[in-house]
Amino acid sequence: NAGVTQTPKFQVLKTGQSMTLQCAQDMNHEYMSWYRQDPGMGLRLIHYSVGAGITDQGEVPNGYNVSRSTTEDFPLRLLSAAPSQTSVYFCASRRGDYSNQPQHFGDGTRLSIL
Amino acid sequence: DAKTTQPNSMESNEEEPVHLPCNHSTISGTDYIHWYRQLPSQGPEYVIHGLTSNVNNRMASLAIAEDRKSSTLILHRATLRDAAVYYCILRYTGTASKLTFGTGTRLQVTL
């Protein structure tokens, strides 16, 4: 029962490099989202998707791109990494209907930008 | 979005009940009250949610005030494994409804 799987768990980048954080879920959930969490703070929403082919911006979308070509996968791309993007990134998924189902989170990717 | 207010931190002794309060005076009629917790170095974990009536599950109980302007998460017997940050979040019902996290309450459990 994998749930939400994030890779990699840790990553160090240099300023200006690009990379993709992977997120996959095996629960056939329509809704997926990406959050970042900075030290001592709650999670902030970056982007979300209500289904394959549909994405939208959250609270802090600048510097990040997403796409949703399949129900299972929702990768997050850093276009040109900056030190301000040093953070822990969490991916989450849930059923995308009106049933108010809980959200399932991955274990996070810890990203450092030098 | 309606906001929630929680104490920054609370302490409890192991095996004693813990009552974690949350104020949400601007809650709307369609907002559900969700609770998540985040253990150290882990992603948030769903605890419980409710709309108007009190709710119980294997992890906790949720007591909702009659006017819905406040709620309380109840851990019946705290253990060391319950030490975490607890988030009270309002979420409306809908396909695109989001979870908006505050800073939560950091619960410390001591022997």
Q: What is the pLDDT of residue A1?
A: 63
Q: Could you tell me if A93 lies within 8 Å of chain B, comparing CB atoms?
A: no
Residue A23 burial by CB count (10 A; 0-12/13-18/19+): exposed, middle or buried?
A: buried
Token pair of B111 as six digits: 């022997």
Contacts of A31 in chain B (CB under 8 A): 95-96
Contacting A residues, span 45-84, partner chain B, CB-CB under 8 Å: 45, 48, 50, 56, 58-59
Nearest Cα residue in chain B from A108: B43
Q: Which residue has the higher pLDDT, B63 or A2?
A: B63
Q: Pick the residue from chain B with its C-alpha nearest to A33.
A: B98
Q: Are B62 and B54 in contact (CB under 8 A)?
A: yes
Share of chain A above pLDDT 70, in %: 98
B98–A contact, CB cutoff 8 A? yes
Cβ distance A44 to B101 less than 8 Å, yes or no, reads yes
pLDDT at A95 over 70: yes
Q: How confident is the model at residue B98 (pLDDT cuts 50, 70, 90)?
A: confident
